[in-house]
Amino acid sequence: MQFFATIQKLITNYGNFFIEGVRNTLILSAFSVFLGTILGALMALARMSRIKPLRWFATAYIEFFRGTPLMVQLMFIFYGLPMAGITFPEISFIPDFSRFMAGIVAMSLNSCAYVAEVIRSGIQAVDVGQMEAARCLGLSKGQGMTMVVLPQAIRNILPALGNEFVTVIKESSVVSVIGIAELMYRTNGVKAKTYNTLESLAVAAIIYFILTFTFSKLIAFTERRMAHGRES
């Protein structure tokens, strides 16, 4: 019972710490998935391109970012880019903006590789006859892709993109190592102040579960609505 009493005390006394961490976690995850989706769409099209150098580059990019740890990628972005003369600007009214941007860039590039495969599989799941029909109607290949194939592929892609957002929420804990004040960083701060290690981690685990469970249910609801729309 002492364990649960300590958890309640931590939530009461350090609730603002955890709330700030949740806010930064959601901001980081939202930007990463948004940018990752845009880059992933371009990378998916590049991988399906008939231009061999473009296809080879996209394949190498996807395999590299899917085959290496996010932690390593984050370290290369945060420490490697400044060594190469590339730095992120500091904005006075946004604390640690350069660190935040490094985290967003690293997670966006990582998310891009996974989203690219999601989009590619979603496009390839659309019947080939749809593109042929579009070409018969006089549309170019690009018009057929954007006006006929992609709208149908979105139904296959959206649930997987939602799952990617849930995954990114959990993986965002990695960026605490470069000092971004997301949930895990704030949890470590509470641990240092109170020496209640297990209890602080338990609070973080509960918050992560609430976030991921909520978004998972929203994704499931969206899937059901889309399935209902497809049936009707």
- Give the pLDDT score at 94: 60
d(CA 137, CA 194): 69
d(CA 88, CA 82): 8
Which residues, 6+ apart, have CB-to-CB distance to 34 below 8 Å? Answer: none
- Give the pLDDT score at 89: 73
- Give the pLDDT score at 92: 62
- Give the pLDDT score at 125: 77
- Give the pLDDT score at 154: 78
> Coil, strand or helix: which one is 102?
helix
- Give the pLDDT score at 95: 66
Q: How many CB atoms lie within 10 A of CB 139?
A: 16
Structure tokens that stand for 134 in this block: 């579009």
> Coil, strand or helix: which one is 232?
coil
Q: How many CA atoms lie within 13 A of 82 on its CB side?
A: 10
**Digits of tens for pLDDT over the chain (232 positions)?**
788 899 889 999 998 989 999 999 999 999 999 999 999 989 998 998 888 999 999 999 999 999 999 999 999 998 888 888 887 777 665 667 788 888 999 999 999 999 999 988 888 877 777 777 777 777 777 777 777 777 777 777 887 888 888 899 998 989 988 888 889 999 999 999 988 999 999 999 999 999 999 988 888 887 777 666 555 5
- Give the pLDDT score at 224: 78
Does the CA dihedral 157-159-165-169 come out positive or negative?
Answer: negative
- pTM, entire model: 0.85
| Polymer length of the chain | 232
- Give the pLDDT score at 61: 95
Which residues, 6+ apart, have CB-to-CB distance to 154 below 8 Å? Answer: 122
List the domain boundaries for the chain: 16-231
- Give the pLDDT score at 85: 82
Strand-pair partners of 94: 91
d(CA 67, CA 22): 28
Fold adopted by 16-231: MetI-like fold (1.10.3720)
> Coil, strand or helix: which one is 165?
helix
